[in-house]
Amino acid sequence: MIKLMVVTWLLAVHSLLVLALIHTDLAYRIDRKLGLGYLQPPELTSFYHNMLGSHLSLDGTVSSGSILFFGDSITQGLNVSEFKRSAINYGIGMDTSWGLLERLPKYASQQQASAIVIAIGINDLLRTKRSNQEVIHNYQRIFTYLPTEVPVFIQAILPVDEQHTQLGLNARILKLNTSLQKLAQQHQFIFIDLHHQLVNSQGNLRAEFHTGDGLHLSPAAYRLWIELLQQYLGVRS
């Protein structure tokens, strides 16, 4: 009897450990802590799951007519109170098109929103090996979860400063945005492109428009983005 209880306990412990490794970034964090370098960071991190839990707790109290913003860390840093008192920021740092696809159906508030803004995709290029075609395929599926009676605004993927990122992504971003704009138009969504206002003569994100990492926006860039979004959303500053 005691042996059976011990075996049962061990099985339960190992089952919980396997679940933890599958559903969080525990394995990656252990790998990084030990300096092994064998594992890549998971796409859906513990931060993602924690933020999603907070979002869903908030979602049940969102007022009808709110503007909802979905995206990654660039969206997460956006001051959405510039648009409407009831605007809600559902950005999650490091999120990808697949991450948004996984979580978007869970937000009941989008059915009663006055507008939805989506800005996602740069982490698909930075964190995964996903092709442009795969990103567009994820967007196609994302669009099926959006309400048909709510205005939807799709933000172009923003350029990076290749002198900092060293990845040569801007040419790929331009091609991806061309495909994304066509897809948005097919669904009668409004495509917003801030690209030409942010880049220098080499097509890189200008130094004054990022925080020093070539990717995340500076206050000056956010101000340009806010002003452009206010025009599209019909909101006065």
Of 3.40.50.1110, 2.40.50.140, 2.40.40.20, 3.40.50.1370, the CATH number of 46-233 is 3.40.50.1110
* Structure confidence at residue 236 (pLDDT): 65
Cα→Cα distances 58→10, 55, 61, 63, 221, Å: 38, 5, 6, 10, 28
pTM of the predicted model as reported, rounded to 2 decimal places: 0.83
User: For 141-155, 158-172, 174-188, which range has the lowest pLDDT when averaged over its residues?
Assistant: 158-172
Tell me which DSSP letter residue 150 carries.
Answer: S
Q: Where does the chain have alpha helices with state H? A: 2-23, 26-34, 46-59, 73-76, 97-103, 122-126, 132-144, 162-165, 170-186, 195-198, 219-233
As a whole number of angstroms, the distance between CA 19 and CA 232 comes to 44
In angstroms, how far is CA 18 from the centroid of its own chain? 27
> Residues 91-140: pLDDT tens digits?
999 999 999 999 999 999 999 999 999 999 999 999 898 999 999 999 99
Confidence of residue 164 (pLDDT cuts 50, 70, 90): confident
Helix (H, G, I), strand (E, B), or coil: what is residue 153?
Answer: strand
Cα→Cα distances 137→18, 97, 98, 120, 179, Å: 30, 9, 10, 13, 11
Q: Give me 50's structure tokens.
A: 């924690």
Q: Does residue 124 contact residue 135 with C-beta atoms inside 8 Å? A: yes
As a whole number of angstroms, the distance between CA 25 and CA 28 comes to 5
* Burial annotation 49-81 (CB, 10 A radius, 16+ → b, else e): eebbeebeeebeebeeebbbbbbbbbbbbbebe
> Residues 17-49: pLDDT tens digits?
434 444 444 443 443 334 333 334 589 999 999
As a whole number of angstroms, the distance between CA 197 and CA 65 comes to 30
Confidence of residue 237 (pLDDT cuts 50, 70, 90): low
**Where exactly are the structural domains of the chain?**
2-34, 46-233
Strand 88-91 with 67-71, pairing: parallel
What is the residue-wise DSSP string for 174-234? HHHHHHHHHHHHHTTPEEE--HHHHB-TTSSBPGGGBSSSSSSBPHHHHHHHHHHHHHHHT
Q: What angle do CA 193, 195, 201 make, to 5 degrees?
A: 155
As a whole number of angstroms, the distance between CA 12 and CA 19 comes to 11
